Chain A
Amino acid sequence: MEDTLPCSYSPLPNGPPTIEGPLDKRRPRKKATLIIFSGLLLLLLLALFVAITVGDYRNSHNVHENENDEALLATSEPSSVSIPSEPVHSVSRGVSVGVSEKSNRVFADHNAISYPWNNSMLSWQRTSFHFQPEKNWMNDPNGPMFYKGWYHFFYQYNPNGAVWGDIVWGHAVSTDLIHWLHLPLAMVADQWYDINGVWTGSATVLPNGEVVMLYTGSTNESVQVQNLAYPANLSDPLLINWVKYSDNPVLLPPPGINKNDFRDPTTAWYTSDGKWKFAIGSRVNTTGITLVYHTKDFKSYERLDGLLHSVPDTGMWECVDFYPVSKTAGKGLDTSITGPGVKHVMKTSLDNDRQDYYALGIYDEKTDTWVPDNPNIGIGIRYDYGIFYASKTFYDEQKERRVLWGWIGESDSEFADMKKGWASVQGIPRTVLLDTKTGSNLLQWPVEEVDSLRLSGKEFDKVEVKAGSVVPLDIVSATQLDIVAEFELDKEALERTAQSNVEFSCGNSQGAAQRGALGPFGLLVLADESLSEQTPVYFYIAKGTDGNLTTFFCVDQSRSSEATDVNKQIHGGFVPVLKDEKLSVRLLVDHSIVESFVQGGRTCITSRIYPTKAIYGAARLFLFNNATEATVTTSLKIWQMNSAFIHPFRAK
């Protein structure tokens, strides 16, 4: 790196010499010369001021303009620099929403010695019944759909390594959302309009059986555009080959929208005016927004004047999703359904905190407006309090359900990802329903086909766990489990516990070591015999100043591994518990992923766990109760889970 100033000193401008010369001759033609030179000086001053103000624009184009206008500012610097030329974003934002408490916490860990990963530890981390490619990097779910008897799943994939980059579309099929078969890549970056990335998109299955895929391409100039693709052969149920529309892109960023803020089109829905509509997230300054486009043929589009939704200070909205849920029937709805018995979910992924949020509201298809039920909901509530991003739903017309996919990234180091040769899994597919008991949140639950993986089961009935104790659960193995557990606290403890005005949150607590009167209690998963590694998943009940109980569910990663290069945060959130409801949780443990579904799926937490000892046969499962007052009684069913044996499709 040079130590010199950004610009070399330029030679003295021509100004002074031309002034000095005539000044020598001022005696013979004094007054006229003086007038001329004052005029010249004024002109030069003027030109300088013009140069300074014009130089506000940082476009390289305008840089060159300055050089032409401002002859005095001659420089020997090379004139062109390959910096992407785009308008400057105002740096002085009100709230720097990107720098959150949570992100700083990742830096803060300075505990034990760094642990070297060996192949045994790393290969244990691969999941058995969650979708992941055989190797390399994966991120967003793309274009999920059901077609001719097969569930299709596409995904952002890097064919060249275990980190994000060179993104193309992977593809897999399954008849049951569990046993996946890998197919060849569906789309690669082979056109100018997606050469820098075949990014996220969604499928729309038309009533006549045609399939339309809208996806974002990053062009050769890194502009985000929307493109149309469709199956090469609709009679191939595996939809192996795809064709890109010859006149792509079908949409460019509209006026007022930055070329890097226009991506992830949704599935389209059909409205009574005979048009298809889709939504796409973006932002204006720091306000996240959802745009809507209309089309009749998926080739030409009109933009809706208004916004479907917007929330200030949220930054860029990625992977927007917009879909109906029934207010009454316990089943899913086709994306185009509207009506009085229907609410619409407006979901977004926030670029700046990598979390997914949703809000419930009413959609008026005639005016294309969506109004949230709760006007103060802002961006909404989280789908999942752990690692869960870029999620996307689709309507499964075979089983009349809406199914949710979510990208579960790694929370270990890049070095470990490179060493193990892969990164990321997909969450177990979940059905999504409106919670008719609360009316204000969704319920997410693993699809019923997961139950088909259950092998031997063991029941534990009414196990009493006294305050401050740990109870081992004698099961065959503890790395592939489906656990359904119910907990009851003794009523005395609930009543006699003092009220507290201390606010509790999982993320700001000391984890399972923080003892309260009525919690924490739950299970220790992926623990070793000596409990040197353990991942507590637990309830914590707080009694507020009004005497009311507030329930939380947390997953504590702080002692999950002796390795120091893994995430040690405590994830979790509030759980709505209605009167007379028992506390219940379903856990799916699948090697390095643990998914918790609390109170029938009102609160969900997905975690990635990377033990160094509590692996293979050394992993154990315990019940624990670290409360100071309450005795907890638990009934559990624990199943060993079979592998889904996900493998490449082999033609017979």
Chain B
Amino acid sequence: MRTLVFIVLVYVVFQIIFLSSSQCARLSPNDDNLIEQTCKQTPNYNLCISSLKSDPKSATADVAGLALIMVNVLNTTTTQTLIHINSLLLQSQRNEVKEALLSCVDNYKIGVLTADVPVSIEALTKGNPKFADQGTQDAANESNSCEEGFSGNSPLTVENTNINNVAKVANAIVKLLL
């Protein structure tokens, strides 16, 4: 009887260890640790964690890989914002609002999507991270420019703040590579 209880207890312990480690089936908990350690060095831990963990590649990525994931999040977030801006432009707007919206299209379509994102990706994949440092910093600046164009009555504050936060997190991760 005692040996049976012993075996069952060991089995239960074994199952607990096993199931918790299978949350990330291929690798050890140390990789969650890399994500957490990296995110602690960014200005927005929660955003960093949720952004990175929502991409399966983060499980096996090194710091450069995590930076690339964040740049990808920047890309997606900016694209979604551009779609929203376009829908706002289709509605009738006061002239100054329309001008500011068009200016934001410049900031995001040209500044972020055509310049900052591709440059940052190339810099990170080719091992010259300082250009990704500049690119992600610029992306944050572009979001400021967009927001300031509305002189206080911005319909895009949530989106601009979001892009700004994402860019700053990406920038913080890139700076770890310098």
A630 to B112: give the CA distance in the assembly, Å: 48
Count of interface residues, chain A, beta-carbon cutoff 8 Å: 88
B111 touches A418 (CB 8 A): yes
Residue A633 at the chain B interface, CB threshold 8 Å: no
Residue B163 at the chain A interface, CB threshold 8 Å: no
A414 touches B122 (CB 8 A): no
Residue A53 at the chain B interface, CB threshold 8 Å: yes
B30 touches A56 (CB 8 A): yes
Residue B45 at the chain A interface, CB threshold 8 Å: no
User: What's the least CB distance linking A77 to chain B, in Å?
Assistant: 7
B21 touches A48 (CB 8 A): yes
Residues of A within 8 A of B112 (CB): 414
Residue B162 at the chain A interface, CB threshold 8 Å: no
Residues of B within 8 A of A26 (CB): 4
B34 touches A77 (CB 8 A): no
Count of interface residues, chain B, beta-carbon cutoff 8 Å: 82
A110 to B154: give the CA distance in the assembly, Å: 14
B141 touches A106 (CB 8 A): yes
A91 touches B59 (CB 8 A): no
> Which of A2, A66, A114 is the one whose CB lies under 8 Å from B149?
A114
Which of A78-86, A241-249, A327-335, A530-538 lies at the binding interface? A78-86
A36 to B167: give the CA distance in the assembly, Å: 57
Residue B3 at the chain A interface, CB threshold 8 Å: yes
Which of A3-11, A575-583, A618-626 lies at the binding interface? A3-11
Interface of A is mostly: loop
Interface residue ranges of A98-122 to B (CB < 8 Å): 98-99, 103, 106-107, 109-110, 112-114, 116
A164 touches B122 (CB 8 A): yes
A92 to B112: give the CA distance in the assembly, Å: 30
> Which of A6, A414, A564 is the one whose CB lies under 8 Å from B59?
A6
Residue B79 at the chain A interface, CB threshold 8 Å: no
Interface residue ranges of A1-53 to B (CB < 8 Å): 1-3, 5-10, 13, 15-16, 19, 23, 26, 34, 37-38, 41, 44-45, 48, 51-53
**B interface with A by C-beta (< 8 Å):** 3-4, 6-7, 10-11, 14-15, 17-18, 21-31, 34, 37-38, 41, 53-65, 73, 76, 99-100, 103, 106-107, 110-112, 114-116, 118-119, 122-123, 125-131, 133-135, 137-138, 140-142, 144-146, 148-149, 151, 168, 172, 175-178
**A interface with B by C-beta (< 8 Å):** 1-3, 5-10, 13, 15-16, 19, 23, 26, 34, 37-38, 41, 44-45, 48, 51-56, 58, 60, 63, 66-67, 72-75, 77, 79, 81, 83-84, 86-89, 91-93, 96-99, 103, 106-107, 109-110, 112-114, 116, 161-165, 196-197, 199, 218, 222, 224, 259-260, 315-316, 351-352, 354, 413-415, 417-419, 564-565
- Complex A-B, nearest 8 residue pairs according to Cβ-Cβ distance, in ascending order: A55-B28, A260-B127, A98-B175, A415-B111, A352-B178, A414-B115, A75-B25, A114-B149
